[in-house]
Structures are given as C-alpha cells and as structure tokens.
Amino acid sequence: MSAFLESPKSFYWQYLHAGTGLSYAPSVARYDHDLAFGTRWAEFVDAFYTTRPITQASSLEADLSGWAEKIKPTYLTSFVALQNNYIASFSPDDGVRTPDTSELRLESDRFVARLDGLSADGIIHECKTTSRAPSLDMQLWRVENSLQVKLYAVLAEAEGVRIEFAYKDSPNVVFRAPVKAITREQRRFWKAELESLWEAIQLCLHREPAWGHAAFPCHPDGCTIVSKRFIGECPWKSMCDGVTGAEHFYRPRPPHIDERTGLELHIVR
C-alpha cells in the first residue's frame, strides 16, 4: 500500500506485471545496508523475546559472520553496541511482547501484516532502526501515525502502540517511547482510510486489461526521483520505455562544503 501511495505505476511494475510475460528486475545501485541492518535487528529482538532468551550479544556472533561480509564495518560495530545496550536495558519478561506474539502474522479478508510484537494487554510493539532526526517528536509522530501502524492497530484491535528506535549513529542506544493510546474511534477511522485505499487499488486493477500500466499514474516527480540520499532515474523507467535490462545509476547528493574552511559540514545533534 505504501508503494502504491508513492507511485501507483511503480506498484504495478513491482507487484503486478509478472503476468504480462515480461521479465525484469529494477536496477540496484548498491547493497542496501539499511535494509540488512533492520532485518537483522528484527531477528535479534524477536530472539530476545521468544523462548530463546539472549543474555550476551555474542550469542549472535555466528549469525553475524556471513552478514559482516556484506555490511559496512561501522554498521557492524553499531549493531553489536545496540545489542549490548538492549540486553542491559530490557528484560525478556518485561511484558512488552509475549513469546507467541513476537513477529505475529495478522490477516483479514483484505489485508495481511506481520507486526513486531504485541503485549498481553493489546499494546503494539514496533521496532525501528534509524538515524537521529533533528526533532524526536516529529520522528516519533510519523511512525505512530504511519500506514503500517494503522494497519497493525486495525488488524490487532490494539489499545495502544509502543515505538522503539535503535539508533545506528553514535551513541548507539535504544529509545523506547511511552505507550500512545489508540481509541476505538481512531481504529474505526483508520479502517475506513485503509479500505478506501484498498478500493482505489482495486479500481486500477479492474480496468480494461488493454490499458496495462497506463491505468496506473506515475510518481509525481516522473522519471527523476529526488530523495534525501540520491537523485536519479526511476528504477522502473526502462519498463515504461519498453527497453528491458537498462541500467540506471544513482548520483549521491553532493556534500555541503564550508566556503571559508573548505571542510565538509555535518549536522551535530
């Protein structure tokens, strides 16, 4: 659903075009360190709260060995530091999630989701690996009101949400936010919101087959995608052009240089 909101046409190429007989994978400029980091962190927290309690960060050294060959060294150092901080700060029996609700799959007739964890009293536990933002309040608000959390709340009929940030930048610590209550009225509104999005997707899906990807509007930025870390062409552009296998390379955003000293500037938080 998030992919559809970002760009319906990207959603089409990524999830729906398999039945058209075309074979194509989007270009990848580099190994996705952030995705690998987040995936491994979810596995660690899951192990922490299940019947395989972890008492030392070294418990996952064997699992990290293959991962370390792909990930950049600074991330590996951060990962181990975060494990130690987690073990020192929290307990597997603190009630934040129960073993049988860790990595819990939820499903309805329209939606499928897998949330990180759920407590016995119906509080969602959602973990994120992230870098610090200038405003913690804004960073927290965006996650608590994200499409992902709304879906979890509706499917689990949750009474609240507890967001947890594992900061990849120094100091490597875990911030666990207070529980934010979720009312029945909020869940009802979010359900209507989600179902409206589902119906919008269905409307595109059930248009005349001859329309193909033309039924799906493109990203607002068109073929040139501008984000925080890169400026480049849409990885699905070659599909729209009808040229399969084309390579697309992303250009990193240039650093900000101090004109007086000639040094690269970094934001210190």
Which residue range(s) make up the domain with 101? Answer: 33-182
- Report which of residues 248 and 98 the model is more confident about: 98
Residues 166 and 207 in one domain: no
What does R_g of the chain's alpha carbons equal in angstroms?
A: 21
On average, the pLDDT of the chain sits at 79
Are residues 131 and 232 located together in one domain of the fold? Answer: no
Residues 88 and 220 in one domain: no
pLDDT tops 70 at residue 259: no
Whether residue 118 sits in one domain with residue 8: no
List residues bridging with 111 in a β-sheet.
none
Closest CA to 206 of 72, 16, 27: 16
Please count the structural domains in the chain. 2
The residue with tokens 């729209």 is 240
Instruction: Tell whether 267 is covered by a domain.
Output: no
Q: Are residues 92 and 202 in the same domain?
A: no
**How high is the pLDDT of residue 254?**
55
Is there a single domain that holds both residue 102 and residue 177? yes
Report pTM. Answer: 0.75
Residue 230 and residue 158 share a domain: no
Does residue 9 carry a pLDDT above 50? Answer: yes
Higher pLDDT, 234 or 147: 147
Name the pLDDT band for 36 (thresholds 50, 70, 90).
Answer: confident
> What's the average model confidence in pLDDT over 154-182?
95
Maximal C-alpha separation, the chain: 61
Say if 263 falls within a structural domain. no
Report if residue 10 sits inside a domain.
Answer: yes
In a domain, 259, yes or no: no
- Residues 91-114: tens digit of each pLDDT: 998 999 998 999 999 999 999 999
Which residues neighbour 95 within 8 Å (Cβ) at sequence distance 6 or greater?
Answer: 119, 120, 121
